[in-house]
Each structure stands twice: as structure tokens, then as C-alpha cells.
Structure 1
Amino acid sequence: MASDLADPQPARWGAALSPTAAAVAALAAHLALADAQPPPLTWLASAPAWQHPYPVVVAAVGALGLLAAALQAALPALRPAVRHFAPLTAAAVALLALWEFVTVKMNWLKQPFFPGPDEVFAAVFDDRAILLESAWHSLQLLLAGYAAGVAAGLVTGVLVGWFPAVRYWAMPALKLVGPVPATALIPLVMTLWKDSFPCAVALIGFAVWFPMTILTSSGIANVRLSYLDVARTLGAGRLYLIFRVALPAALPNIFVGLFMGLGASFLTLIVAETVGVQAGLGWYLRWQQGYMEYAKVYGTLLISAAFFSTLMTLLFKVRDRVLRWQQGVIKW
């Protein structure tokens, strides 16, 4: 009864049907308003309306929203998920409609620098094979650099956080070297390695290493003394104290370092792919920008956003599982 009062049917149906309503409004605006922007010099200019990707995508979102609304009515277990994601989906459709309005319909943002969503989606569809290959290469490079930076940061962070002598000598060096942008080291790494892949891995690893080191050392140094005293009383040695007491207690700080390092790796990846890497999203972005193919540039940015958001979401899932003993305590 309480759940029914907190989630009345009109509000539930309004939220569930919001993507479909937004899609209908976007399609109505698409059909009713004339195009002020000149048509692109691609296959879109001669393709029938039903083959244009923008209205197809919007119609598909509307149909899926209607299906989700029907399923949540039949399956109460789906209602929280639909109630959560439906307004977000409707907002995304509204942003697409606004994008088309200010570019294609009103021509306030002009070609070739600001193509409409239809042209961008078509560019992604046309280059889907090379974009998929580029995303795969970027994923390999990102994971290699991120893993190297995390491993180095954990080792350095444990040494700095646990041993006062190491902290005395290492902290000044960290304060001096750590804030240096990884992208400023491109000339240096290119002299150390002739192969472009290790250069890019080193740049990403350096960007991840500093936040991992600082957050890990902070977590280790601030472990409660009572935890260590109890373990020592029970006969624990130094390795046990480090790996079975200090590191688990420092996990919240370590995960903050993991998130900060992942964000730094995203920023460094695109630049790291300029050191001679022959594939990747950053390489593709630079290539298309050189030819002023701005529809493909924006398409790459959309794919990069989805790519990075997926990795960040996966890390959140890992954090929630590893730190489930702190459920209700952590707020980030």
C-alpha cells in the first residue's frame, strides 16, 4: 500500500511514456519544419526520408519506450528501472531535437562546422567498420596504460604510505614530478622508444600513476591504529599488516585514485594517439579533422563519450561489489 501511495499510477505512466512523447514531438518538428541548412553532399541528399538515420533512431527510441511502458505495467519488477531511465532517455531525445532545430531547421549554427544529427549519424554508419576497429585499438592502448599506471601507483603508494623513510625522500619528488602534464612528456618518451605503442602506454601510465600513488599512500597512512594494534596482538607480521589490514582498509581511497586515474587516462589517450599510433579514436579524429569532415568528427566524439562512459560505469560496478561491506557509507 505504501509503495502504491509513493508511486501513483499517473506519475508512473507519465515517466514511462516520456521517451515516446519526446520522440513523437521530435518527429513532428522534423516533419513540420522546413530545412534552412543546405543538404549535405552525401547520399542523404537523395535518400528517401525513411532511410535517414535521425528519424529512424528517434522512432526506434519511441517504439522501445512504448514497449518498456507496456512491460513495466505487466512486470512490477521493471518499474524502478523504467521510472529511473525513462526521463533520462526523454531528455536525450529532446537534446537531439534541439540540436536539429538550431542547425538543420534554423541554420543558426552553420555548415560545415556544425552539421545536424542526421548527417552525424550517417557519417558514423558509413564509417562503422573503421570506427569499431579504432575503438578496439583505443581500448587496448587505454587498458595497457591504465594497468601499468595502476600497478606502479599501488606499489609506490604502499611504499610511501607505510614506510616513513620512503615517504621522507619520495614526497618531494612526487610534488615536483607528479603535477607535470603527461602530454608534456611526449618528446621524452619518443626518444626512449622507437615504437609508438610503448610511448603511448607510458604517457597514459604516467597520467594514472600520480593520483593512484597519492590516494593509495594517503589511505595506507591513515589506517586506524586500532586495526594494526589488534592484528599485531594476534601475531601478524609486516606483510600481513600491509596486505590483509592496511590495503583493505585503504580501499575507499584506492578507488578514488582509480577513478581519478581513469579520468586522466581518458584525457591523455587522445593526445597519446598522436605520437605515431596508426589506429584509434584519437587518430581517426585527427585524420577527419584534417579533411574538415566535421560530421565524422562529431560522430567520433559521440562514440568516445559512450566508450568512456561505459568504462566508468564498469568501474563503478566493480567498486560497488568490492566495497559492498561499506554500502550506505560511501556517497560517491
Structure 2
Amino acid sequence: MSLLTFDAPRADKADVRYRLPSRATLARVALAVAAGGAWLAFAGLTAYWPDQGDWGHGSELAAAAGILGGALALAGVLGGLWPRGAARLRRSTPWLLALGLFFTLWQAATAKFAWLPQPFFPPPHALLEVFVDDWAKLWTSVVASTQLELLGFAAGAGAGFIIGVLLGCFSAFGYWVHPVMRLIGPLPSIAWLPIAFFAFPSSWSASIFLIGLTTAFPVAVLTWSGVASVNSAYYDVARTLGASRAFLVFKVAIPAALPHVFVGLFMGLGASFAVLVVAEMMGVKAGLGFYLQWSQGWAAYANMYAALLVMSLMCSGLVTLLFRVRDRLLSYQKADVQW
């Protein structure tokens, strides 16, 4: 809302009365102005206080922070002109204020006063320098890691889903496979590194195996649990109507087990990222894990932090995509796990 609200009575439109904003409105405006002030302070500190080291792109970062700070302050004061945008801004304003203060403190503790030892704690514009000057190598690493992760995750999820369905539907299959799962499943996939790199012809294929193994176990267990928890009345009704064994599996058991399947996929995706990084550090010649190891070897800690940030965004994006697919397929159910 704007600071002044006009209220025109129907009886006499010419009679315009001014109404003072409420305390809640003033508090929201003050919070938005404070968030803008925090980013403007960060911009001023970056632009006008001399650095204690040699880092580039400080002026570009200061300009971007100044534009953001001015826009936040202006949007807080003139929020009544766009109510929908103002509502979205209100939800994000506390975080924007906290981030502005954090970046200001980070900049002061690293580039301006050197309170933190270098090169272990680079300033914000050192990370910007990595994204601007080394974007080609970072992009190549992201593409390589995404390919490796998706191939391994797809192979493990497919195998785990099939094993889980067979375990839930066929007791003879469970008799032989369940003990093997109890023996192999709890072992960390990293423990299989020496065997995997010996058994497979390349580090690429060995990494896919390790990621798939990490994903397959939770997917198989949760799929099995979902199939086993299907109400037996569903099967009885389907058999009464003449359903075949294949119909019971594909039209009754699997649809009813899908909520459990997605929980297993979520668990497998999170665990597979840990294996992805370790596998790329051990032998793969491209990827974010390889980039992390290379950065640490050259003491390029700004590159290392930039790779960690990219990896976090990539992982969060894939998990968000998985949950969007779940919400689309299971729109008729309330999800147990939220993201």
C-alpha cells in the first residue's frame, strides 16, 4: 500500500478524505526500506571502501546491489500501485533484509578489513569474478555432472522400482532377493569404489553404477512397502470383476504404491548427489566434483565456493522438478513429504 490512501465516499466524490496508513502498513514499508538500505550499504561499502586484496568486478557488484536496494526501497513505499507484487515482496522482505546484512558483513570481514584469513574466505565479488571469467569451465562441469547424475539416477530408480514391485507381488521372488537386499543395501555405496573401478571398463560407467546402486535401494524398499500396504479389498474387488494377475499389478498395486515410490525417489536423489561428488573426485575427468578437487589443489577457494553454490542450485532444482512431477501425477492426494 502507498503511504497515503484516498477514500472517496459515494455520496460526494468531490469530497476526498485522507486516511493515515495503519501500523501494519508502516511496519511493512519500514521493513522494505530497511532491506533496501542494507543492500545500498553493501553497494557503498563495495564501491567506496578500498579492498585489502586484488579482486575484480567490484564495481559491477556494487552497481547491481545499488539497483536492487533502490528498487526494494521504492517498491516498499509505492507498494499500493501494484498490490499483487507488493504481497510477493512482503513474503520475501525479511530474507532480503537478512541477505543484505549478511553480504555487508561478509564484504567487510573479507575484502575491506581482512578479518578472515585469505585465500580461504574470498569476498563476494571474488565469486562473481569466477562466474564471469570461468563460466565456460563451470558450464562444462554442470553439463557433465547432470548427465552422469541423470543416467545413474534413472538406471537405479528403474531397477529399484522393478525390484520393489516384484518383491511386493511375488513371494517366491522375495524369498531369494530379500536376504540379498538386507546384506548389500545398508552398505554405503562408496565402499564399493575399489570393486566398481576394477569391474567396469571406465570410471564413467563405474560412477553410473555407484549412483544407480545408491538410488535403487531406497526406491526398492519404499516401492515394496507401498505395494505391500495396498488394501486387500482392492484386490478382492478386482478379482470379483474378473481381473487378471497383470491387471492387479499394473492397475491396482502400482497406482496405489506411487506415493511411497516418490518418497523413495526423493531419498535416492539426495543420496545420489553425495556419491556423484565422490565419484567425480575419484576418477571422472569432468564434472563439479572434479572442478572442486581442481580448485582445492590450486588453492582457488573462490572457484570452490562457486562450484558448491552451483551444485546446491542444481540439486535443489532437480528435487523441485521431482516434486512437481509428483504433484502432477498425484494431484488427487495430499502429499506427506513437502519441499
Normalized against structure 2, the TM-score is what? 0.83
- Structure 1 pair 77/56, CA: closer, same or farther in 2 (3 Å)? same
The one-letter amino acid paired with 1:39 is: G
- Structure 1 pair 157/57, CA: closer, same or farther in 2 (3 Å)? farther
Alignment of 1:190-209 (within 5 A): 190-209=197-216
Select which of 18, 26, 51 maps to 2:42. Answer: 26
Shift of 1:276: 2.7
Q: Which residue of 1 aligns with 2:336?
A: 330
Q: Which residue of 2 aligns with 1:58?
A: 65
The one-letter amino acid paired with 1:205 is: G
Shift of 1:272: 1.4
Shift of 1:111: 0.3
Shift of 1:277: 1.8
Q: Distance in 2 between matches of 1:193 and 1:275?
A: 14
Q: Distance in 2 between matches of 1:237 and 1:183?
A: 42
- Structure 1 pair 126/168, CA: closer, same or farther in 2 (3 Å)? same
Q: Which residue of 2 aligns with 1:214?
A: 221
Q: Point out the more displaced range, 303-312 or 15-24.
A: 15-24
Shift of 1:8: 5.5
Q: Distance in 2 between matches of 1:50 and 1:101?
A: 16
The one-letter amino acid paired with 1:125 is: V
Select which of 95, 106, 120 maps to 2:127. Answer: 120
Q: Which residue of 2 aligns with 1:179?
A: 186
Is residue 164–residue 219 contact of structure 2 (8 Å, CA) maintained in 1? yes
Q: Distance in 2 between matches of 1:235 and 1:226?
A: 14
Shift of 1:102: 2.9
Q: Which residue of 1 aligns with 2:53?
A: 39
Q: Point out the more displaced range, 317-326 or 93-102.
A: 93-102
Shift of 1:94: 3.0
Shift of 1:66: 5.6
5+ residue gaps, structure 1: 1-6
5+ residue gaps, structure 2: 1-22
The one-letter amino acid paired with 2:39 is: A
Q: Point out the more displaced range, 99-108 or 11-20.
A: 11-20
- Structure 1 pair 57/150, CA: closer, same or farther in 2 (3 Å)? farther
Shift of 1:232: 1.9
Alignment of 1:1-332 (within 5 A): 9-10=25-26, 13=29, 19-30=35-46, 35=51, 38-40=52-54, 42=55, 44=56, 50-51=59-60, 53=61, 55-62=62-69, 65=72, 73-327=80-334, 330=336, 332=338
Q: Distance in 2 between matches of 1:230 and 1:17?
A: 63
The one-letter amino acid paired with 2:336 is: I
Shift of 1:106: 4.0
Shift of 1:89: 3.5
| Partner-residue secondary structure (3-state), 1:245 | helix
State the Cα deviation string for residues 202-236 of structure 1 (Å, max 9, x = none): 11111101111111111111111122222222222
Identity %: 41
Shift of 1:101: 3.2
Report the structure number with the largest CA radius of gyration: 2
Q: Distance in 1 between matches of 2:196 and 2:260?
A: 30
Q: Distance in 2 between matches of 1:29 and 1:186?
A: 48
Q: Distance in 2 between matches of 1:8 and 1:242?
A: 57
Q: Distance in 2 between matches of 1:86 and 1:233?
A: 59
Q: Distance in 2 between matches of 1:18 and 1:213?
A: 50
Q: Distance in 1 between matches of 2:32 and 2:239?
A: 56
- Structure 1 pair 298/217, CA: closer, same or farther in 2 (3 Å)? same
Q: Distance in 2 between matches of 1:113 and 1:212?
A: 39
Q: Distance in 1 between matches of 2:34 and 2:265?
A: 36
Shift of 1:105: 3.6
**Higher relative contact order, structure no. (Cα contacts within 8 Å, ≥ 6 residues apart):** 1
RMSD across aligned C-alpha pairs, in angstroms? 2.7
- Structure 1 pair 81/241, CA: closer, same or farther in 2 (3 Å)? farther
| Partner-residue secondary structure (3-state), 1:325 | coil
Q: Distance in 2 between matches of 1:242 and 1:89?
A: 50
- Structure 1 pair 239/14, CA: closer, same or farther in 2 (3 Å)? farther
Q: Distance in 1 between matches of 2:249 and 2:42?
A: 57
Shift of 1:10: 3.9
